[in-house]
Every structure is written in structure tokens, then in C-alpha cells.
């Protein structure tokens, strides 16, 4: 039998078809779910023999003929999982009884989505605490704010909902046989309502995994976790005025390492003291940190002494760049290390003229939410639709202005004008730096840090804890340690693979060059065919179900070129 999710669409309903293709189809591809799209208009009769069925489009229930519906219900009764995104439940009468629907009321709108009854599907989200503890900070994140009110169908049910509207009406129900029913419009996945990479993708992914027949295989990005620290000059940081400031002797690197993180550090290279350069070398040799030339220096935070491009967008000449890169090369040689392959540039400003110099040095990965040759505040800097969703905050794709570079970016959803405040820095608003807060708030910082990593992981990307060293320097080493300890605690339910930014960039580069072609189960044997090319071992996720519990296992693939068949 083939492992496959059947995705039902209808291209004759142009508007809803466009929504499904622009949201759910991209999501399935991004999460590496093996699927096959079927267009109701083109199919004479549908064979529903599959691991699961996803009704991906609003209004399909009305368009499906009786014969098709009958064979759909038969497949569901026989154990094929059904995930129904068509919230017009009135056109699926046979689903009412298994979903314990007592009455269908009217359509309404909600501006909020709340997390409901704890279940495999929503278990990574905070849940309502028992009454004596209710209202505590752990409950933050239980409510997801929509950007504008969205339609849902009000129903009365005896079922315990996994998601709720602001008036506590159910928005997501599940039942056996394996049946998932969304009661909110699939416009939810459009960026103008809520979108992907905004905090609900894990629920859609887990709903699919829960419903489909097991074993099931996906080519999902493994749960890598890393860190990015910008504006680093260690002991020379002018904001570290306390005896025990966390920047002194790069003490914060030890703390990041203590909790497994291997950070990429963007250095102000001319500020580094002789003593600190020894620490850099030691961390580099032990593979506990990567270092990249961020800028020469910048005490005024105006990108006054950049390496790659002027802060006003003016390109350096070839001669100037020769000199800049010679200065950078000399520093790194003196320290006895090589810059990371992933460029960590101040304000992410990288001029077009600097690209040949970076290529020559093998620095071919970037971590940019902005384009080459543009300044941070340039209106055209984010005029770019990188894969998978066209979101400049969450993407991995070739750079638009030079596809010899591969960009890997995670962690912060980008809204219009979001770049005007450094909200992508998890410590932003949590320390007394630039009076962003009246005091250093360890609890708030830990919450923001954990949310940043979780959003990356929940969105099928990777987790990245991002901060600027000046905010770390305001903290004592004890405060920074406590923040990381709390973050670590709140990620205890998460599967994590700690890796450097370079390792993750290289993994994603190969990941996106490969495709799951066919997966078959014969007895206990799962055989997978992949196409594409990878010179590094990639991983597949296998989901199995034992006595109602879903278990995930990561399996290594051998490097391959063109095609490979593996037995798992």
C-alpha cells in the first residue's frame, strides 16, 4: 500500500481554489507530507484508498456528488483518516453523528482562537491550569489573536473541542473513526487573517498526523535549535558596566553552551581585545560557537564602519572592498579561525559588490530578512517572496539578487513596518537597555525567548534564539543564566537537535533539493523513493501508533545523487 495523503480540491470554484493552493498546498510541501492533489472537476470517480484524505477547500461538501460522498464515508469507516477544512458541516450529514453534533446553528465571526481540551494535536500549547493556579503567566499563548474577525460555524456538540472561538464555540473537533473537523473558515491560513508561521501550524500538522493511517512518513525539517547574537564585542561592550556583566570575557557564551546552544556570533572585529580573541579561538576549536564579521565597529549603532556596504545604501568600490576584506582576513588569521559560512552582517546590509568577495571565501549562506544591496529601512528591502510562503521572516531559499547564495531565516513573523523596532531580539523590552524596561525582567525575557524558539519549531522551521549583545551586557551573568534556565524548562516537552547555524543552513540547502517520490508499505517494510541530490545525510520522520500513542522516529538517509530507494 502507498503512504499518501489525498488532497481534494475543486478548480471550478476559483476563489476558494486559489486560497487552498496559496496556503494549505504550500504548507503540505513545506512540512514534507507525501500528498496527491485531486481536482473534483477532472476526476470521474475518486478512489479514496489512501493513508488519509484532506478536504482542503471551503464549499466542497456542496459540490461533491452523492456517489463521491458515499465512497468518501466508506473509506473513513474503514480507517482512512479524514481532515476536513470545509467548515460548512451542514453539507456533511454523515459526519454529524461521529462528531457528536447536536445542532447546527448559524455562522458567526471570531477575533480570537483559544486552545481547548488537551490532546496530542494541541499538546505543545499552554493549557488552562487548574483553578488555584489559573491566570498565571504559563497560560500566556493560550489565545491567538486574528488580524481581522473570521467566519466560523456555530454548533452544539457533546464533543470536547481542541480549539475554541472567543465565545467558546468549538472550532476544531476530533473523533473516532479518525476524523478531524475544522469549524472555522480556511481563510485562517491567509496572512491577512492569521497565516502560516504564526503559531497554529503545529496544530494543522499534528491533526493530519493524528488522523492518517500509521506508519506515516514525512520529510519534515528536523527540530534544530540554534542561536544568533549580533553586535558582539565581548569585554569591550560599552553597555556592560557591572562587575558581573554577562558580556565580560564572553561569559554569556559559556551559558549558551551550558544549555546546548551553539551560537553564531556577529563580531565587531576591531573592538575585540587580545584576551577575548583567545576565548573566541577556544570556542571555535571546540565547535561551541561560530563567528562572522558583523562590522568593523559601531559604537553609535548607525553602521558607521561596515564591511559590506555603506549604511546609506552606497556600494563600496572594488578597491575599497579589497581593503575591507584584507582587514577582515587578517583579523581572523591572527585569531586562528575561519568566519562562519553563514554571513551575519550588521543590519543584514550586504552590498552587491561584496558578493564576489564572500563567494571567494566560501561564505555562501545568509540569515537575511532583507535583499542584497538594500539597507535595513529601504522600502524595497523586503520586496521579495522567498519560499515556502513568501515571508521574509520565515524562509529558506536562494537569494533573489544572486542565487549563488542560499538564505535561511526563522523566528519572527514579519508584519508591515515591523523592522522599525527590534522585536526579533528576544530581549527587546525586557532589560533597562535604552530604557526599554524599568528593570531587567528575567521572567518576561524567558517567556519571549521560549516563544521565539517554539514558533520556529512549531512552524516546521528551526528554533533560533536571537539577541543583540548590548542587551545581554545589561544583564548580570546570573540573570542571563536564569533566563536560559527558564527557557530550557519551558522547552522540556520539545524534541530538539542543537546545531550551529552553518550546519542548519547546509542541511536546508540539501533538504530543498530533494523530494519524497513514493513510499510503500509491504508487511513491516517501508520503502521510500527520493529524487534530487544530497551530499549530506538527511532525515525522514516516521510516525507510528502504539496503543493510541503516536511516536515519532527520525531515520537517517544516505547521501545520494539523482535518486535513492531506502528501506526504513
Phi, psi (deg, nearest 5) at residue 108? -145, -175
Q: Which helix (H) or strand (E) holds 483?
A: helix 477-490
Pattern 212-231, binding to Zn ion, x per CB under 5 A? ------------------xx
> Can you tell me which of 30, 219, 331, 346 binds Zn ion, judged by CB under 5 A?
346
Least distance CB 428 / Zn ion (angstroms): 13
State the minimum distance, in angstroms, from the CB of residue 115 to Zn ion.
36
- Report how far apart the first and last C-alpha atoms of the chain are (Å, whole number): 15
Q: Give the dihedral sign, CA 415/419/423/429.
A: negative
Binding track, positions 504-533, relative to Zn ion; x by CB under 5 A: ------------------------------
Q: Which is nearer to Zn ion, 231 or 506 (CB)?
A: 231
Closest residue to Zn ion, based on beta-carbon distance: 346
Least distance to Zn ion, CB of residue 303, Å: 8
Least distance in angstroms from the C-beta of 425 to Zn ion = 10
Beta carbon nearer to Zn ion, 10 or 230: 230
Please identify, using beta-carbon distances, which residue of 373 and 532 lies nearer to Zn ion. Answer: 373
DSSP state of 184: B
| Count of residues in contact with Zn ion, rule CB under 5 A | 3
Question: Which residues contact residue 389 at a Cβ distance below 8 angstroms, ignoring those fewer than 6 apart?
Answer: 26, 30, 191, 195, 196, 197, 395
CA of 115: how far to CAs of 67, 118, 151, 156, in Å?
Answer: 36, 8, 18, 18
* Minimum CB distance to Zn ion, residue 347 (Å): 6
Task: Give the containing element (helix H, strand E) for 365.
Answer: strand 365-366
Would you say 504 and 462 are in contact if contact means Cβ atoms under 8 Å apart?
Answer: yes
Determine phi and psi for 477, rounding to 5 degrees.
-60, -35
- Would strands 560-567 and 290-295 be described as parallel, antiparallel, or unpaired? unpaired
Shortest separation between residue 120's beta carbon and Zn ion, angstroms: 41
**How far is the C-alpha of 532 from the C-alpha of 515, rounded, in Å?**
6
Q: Confirm if 382 and 413 have CB atoms less than 8 A apart.
A: no
- Which of the residues 440 through 459 are near Zn ion (CB under 5 A)? none
Q: Strand order in 539-546's β-sheet?
A: 216-218, 539-546, 549-556
**If you ran DSSP here, which 8-state letter would residue 341 be given?**
S
Least separation in angstroms between CB 445 and Zn ion: 19
Q: Does 425 bind Zn ion (CB under 5 A)?
A: no
Nearer to Zn ion, 442 or 472 (CB): 472
231 or 503, CB closer to Zn ion? Answer: 231
The residue among 211 and 265 lying less far from Zn ion, judged by its C-beta, is: 265
Of 79-87, 344-352, 355-363, 547-555: span binding Zn ion (CB under 5 A): 344-352
Q: Where are the alpha helices (DSSP H) in 336-458?
A: 355-360, 442-458
Residue 267 or residue 487: which is nearer to Zn ion going by CB?
A: 267
Nearer to Zn ion, 267 or 280 (CB): 267
In angstroms, what is the minimal distance from the CB of 294 to Zn ion?
6
What is the longest distance spanned by two Cα atoms in the chain? 78
Residues that bind Zn ion (CB under 5 A): 230-231, 346
Amino acid at each position: 500500500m502507498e503512504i499518501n495523503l489525498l488532497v481534494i480540491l475543486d478548480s471550478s470554484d476559483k476563489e476558494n481554489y486559489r486560497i487552498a493552493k496559496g496556503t494549505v498546498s504550500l504548507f503540505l510541501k513545506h512540512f514534507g507530507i507525501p500528498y496527491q492533489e485531486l481536482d473534483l472537476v477532472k476526476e470521474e470517480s475518486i478512489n479514496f484508498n489512501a493513508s488519509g484524505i484532506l478536504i482542503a477547500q471551503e464549499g466542497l461538501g456542496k459540490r461533491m456528488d452523492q456517489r463521491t460522498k458515499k465512497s468518501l464515508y466508506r473509506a473513513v469507516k474503514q480507517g482512512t483518516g479524514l481532515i476536513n477544512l470545509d467548515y460548512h458541516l451542514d453539507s456533511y450529514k454523515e459526519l454529524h453523528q461521529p462528531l457528536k453534533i447536536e445542532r447546527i446553528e448559524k455562522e458567526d465571526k471570531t477575533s480570537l482562537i483559544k486552545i481547548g481540551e488537551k490532546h496530542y494535536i494541541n499538546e505543545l500549547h499552554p493549557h488552562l491550569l487548574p483553578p488555584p493556579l489559573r491566570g498565571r503567566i504559563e497560560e500566556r499563548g493560550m489565545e491567538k489573536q486574528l488580524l481581522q474577525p473570521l467566519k466560523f460555524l456555530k454548533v452544539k456538540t457533546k464533543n470536547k473541542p481542541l480549539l475554541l472561538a472567543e465565545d467558546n464555540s468549538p472550532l476544531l473537533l476530533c473523533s473516532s473513526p479518525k476524523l478531524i473537523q475544522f469549524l472555522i473558515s480556511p481563510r485562517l491560513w491567509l496572512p491577512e487573517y492569521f497565516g502560516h508561521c504564526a503559531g497554529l501550524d503545529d496544530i494543522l500538522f499534528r491533526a493530519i498526523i493524528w488522523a492518517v493511517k500509521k506508519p506515516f512518513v514525512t520529510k519534515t525539517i528536523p527540530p534544530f535549535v540554534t542561536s544568533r547574537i549580533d553586535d558582539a564585542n565581548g569585554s569591550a561592550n560599552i553597555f556592560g558596566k557591572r562587575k558581573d556583566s554577562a558580556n565580560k570575557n564572553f561569559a554569556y557564551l559559556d551559558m549558551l553552551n551550558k544549555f546546548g546552544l551553539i551560537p553564531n556570533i556577529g563580531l565587531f572585529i576591531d573592538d575585540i581585545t587580545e584576551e577575548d580573541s583567545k576565548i573566541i579561538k577556544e570556542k571555535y576549536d571546540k565547535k561551541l560557537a561560530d563567528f562572522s564579521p558583523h562590522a568593523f565597529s559601531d559604537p553609535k549603532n548607525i553602521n558607521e564602519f561596515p564591511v559590506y556596504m555603506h549604511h546609506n545604501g552606497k556600494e563600496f568600490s572594488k578597491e575599497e572592498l579589497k581593503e575591507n576584506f584584507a582587514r577582515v582576513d587578517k583579523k581572523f588569521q591572527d585569531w586562528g579561525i575561519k568566519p562562519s559560512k553563514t554571513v551575519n552582517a550588521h543590519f543584514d546590509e550586504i552590498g552587491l559588490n561584496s558578493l564576489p568577495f564572500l563567494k571567494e571565501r566560501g561564505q555562501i549562506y545568509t540569515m537575511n530578512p532583507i535583499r542584497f544591496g538594500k539597507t535595513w529601512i529601504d522600502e524595497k528591502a523586503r520586496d521579495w517572496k522567498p519560499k515556502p510562503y513568501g515571508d521574509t521572516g520565515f524562509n529558506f531559499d536562494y537569494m533573489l539578487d544572486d542565487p549563488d547564495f542560499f538564505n535561511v531565516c526563522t523566528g519572527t513573523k514579519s508584519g508591515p513596518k515591523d523592522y522599525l523596532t527590534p522585536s526579533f531580539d528576544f530581549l527587546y523590552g525586557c532589560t533597562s537597555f535604552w530604557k526599554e524596561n524599568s528593570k531587567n525582567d528575567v521572567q518576561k525575557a524567558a517567556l519571549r525567548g521560549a516563544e521565539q524558539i517554539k514558533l520556529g519549531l512549531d512552524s516546521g522551521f528551526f528554533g533560533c534564539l536571537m539577541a543583540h549583545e548590548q542587551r545581554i551586557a545589561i544583564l548580570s551573568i546570573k540573570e542571563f543564566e536564569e533566563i536560559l534556565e527558564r527557557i530550557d524548562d519551558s522547552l522540556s516537552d520539545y524534541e530538539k537537535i542543537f546545531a550551529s547555524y552553518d550546519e542548519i543552513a547546509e542541511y536546508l540547502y540539501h533538504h530543498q533539493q530533494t523530494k519524497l517520490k513514493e513510499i510503500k508499505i509491504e508487511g513491516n517494510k517501508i520503502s521510500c523513493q527520493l529524487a534530487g541530490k544530497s551530499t549530506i545525510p538527511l532525515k525522514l520522520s516516521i510516525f507510528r501508533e502504539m496503543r493510541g500513542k503516536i511516536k515519532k522516529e527520525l531515520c537517517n538517509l544516505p547521501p545520494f545523487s539523482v535518486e535513492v530507494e531506502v528501506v526504513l
